[in-house]
Amino acid sequence: MTSQLIADLEWRGLIAQSTDREALIKQLDGQSTAFYIGFDPTAPSLHVGNLVVLLVMRRFQLAGHKPLPLVGGATGLVGDPSGRNEERTLNDVEIVEQWVGRIRNQLSKFLNFELGDNSAVMTNNLDWTKPVSALDFLRDIGKHFSVNQMLSKDSVSSRLESGGISYTEFSYQVLQAFDFLELYRRHDCKIQLGGSDQWGNIVAGLDLIRKVEGGVAHCMTIPLMTKSDGSKFGKTAGGSVWLDPEMTSPYAFYQFWLNSDDADVPKYLKVFSFRSREEIEALVAQHETNPGAREAHRALAQELTTLVHGADECNGAEKAAKALFGQAELSELDERTLESALSQLPRTTVTRGSAFPTWVDLLAATGVVDSKSAARRIVKEGGAYLNNAKVTTEEFAPSVENLLFGRFLLLRKGKRDLAAVELI
DSSP 155-217: HHHHHHHTT---HHHHTHHHHHHHHHHHHHHHH-EEEEEEEGGGHHHHHHHHHHHHHHH----
Residue 81 pLDDT? 64
Distance set, CA 300 to CA 242, 274, 289, 314, 321 (Å): 17, 10, 17, 12, 15
Q: Which domain holds residue 275?
A: 226-344
Based on the fold, state whether residues 419 and 274 are members of the same structural domain.
no
CATH code at position 18: 3.40.50.620
Q: Is-contact 315 229, C-beta < 8 A?
A: no
Cα–Cα distance measured from residue 284 to residue 292, given in angstroms and rounded to the nearest whole number:
13
Ranges of the chain whose pLDDT falls below 50: none
Residue 158 pLDDT? 79
What type of residue is 83? G
Residue 155 pLDDT? 75
Based on the fold, state whether residues 28 and 152 are members of the same structural domain.
yes
Residue 207 pLDDT? 95
Based on the fold, state whether residues 337 and 353 are members of the same structural domain.
no
CATH code at position 351: 3.10.290.10
- Helix or strand or coil: residue 36? strand
Neighbours of 24 (CB within 10 A): 20
Distance set, CA 344 to CA 115, 163, 340, 407 (Å): 41, 38, 7, 16
Based on the fold, state whether residues 295 and 273 are members of the same structural domain.
yes
Q: Is-contact 191 33, C-beta < 8 A?
A: yes
Q: Long-range contacts: 314-320, Cβ < 8 Å, 24+? A: 314/250, 314/254, 316/250, 316/251, 317/250, 317/251, 317/253, 317/254, 317/255, 318/254, 320/251
Based on the fold, state whether residues 111 and 8 are members of the same structural domain.
yes
**Residue after which a domain boundary falls, among 344, 359, 393:** 344
Residue 228 pLDDT? 85
Residues in the chain: 424
Please give the model's pTM, rounded to 2 decimal places.
0.87
> Could you tell me the end-to-end alpha-carbon distance of the chain, in angstroms, rounded to an integer?
59
- Helical (H) or strand (E) element with 3: helix 2-11
Based on the fold, state whether residues 397 and 300 are members of the same structural domain.
no
**Residue 2 CB contacts under 8 Å (≥ 6 apart), including other chains:** 25, 28, 29, 63
Residue 231 pLDDT? 80
Got the DSSP string for 389-409? EEP--TT----GGG-BTTTEE
CATH code at position 275: 1.10.240.10
Counts of helices then strands in the chain (DSSP H, E): 19, 15
Q: Is-contact 281 312, C-beta < 8 A?
A: no
Based on the fold, state whether residues 199 and 241 are members of the same structural domain.
no
Residue 146 pLDDT? 87
Measured in degrees and rounded to the nearest 5, phi and psi for residue 138 equal: -65, -40
Got the DSSP string for 44-66? SS-BHHHHHHHHHHHHHHHTT-E
What type of residue is 55? L
Based on the fold, state whether residues 326 and 371 are members of the same structural domain.
no
Cα–Cα distance measured from residue 105 to residue 113, given in angstroms and rounded to the nearest whole number:
12
b/e 294-317 (16+ beta carbons within 10 angstroms → b): bebbbbbbbbbbbbbbeeebbebb
Based on the fold, state whether residues 313 and 406 are members of the same structural domain.
no
Based on the fold, state whether residues 80 and 138 are members of the same structural domain.
yes
Residue 84 pLDDT? 59
Residue 422 pLDDT? 95
DSSP structure class, residue 42: S
Provide the domain count of the chain: 3
Residue 341 pLDDT? 87
Beta strands in 34-140 (DSSP E): 34-36, 38-39, 66-67, 70-71, 123-124
**Residue after which a domain boundary falls, among 161, 196, 222:** 222
**Residue after which a domain boundary falls, among 298, 320, 344:** 344
- Helical (H) or strand (E) element with 315: helix 311-324
Based on the fold, state whether residues 110 and 209 are members of the same structural domain.
yes
Q: Is-contact 220 195, C-beta < 8 A?
A: no
Q: Closest Cα partner for 225 from 259, 262, 183, 197?
A: 197
DSSP bridge pairs for 421: 348, 409
Q: Closest Cα partner for 181 from 189, 171, 170?
A: 189
Based on the fold, state whether residues 163 and 58 are members of the same structural domain.
yes
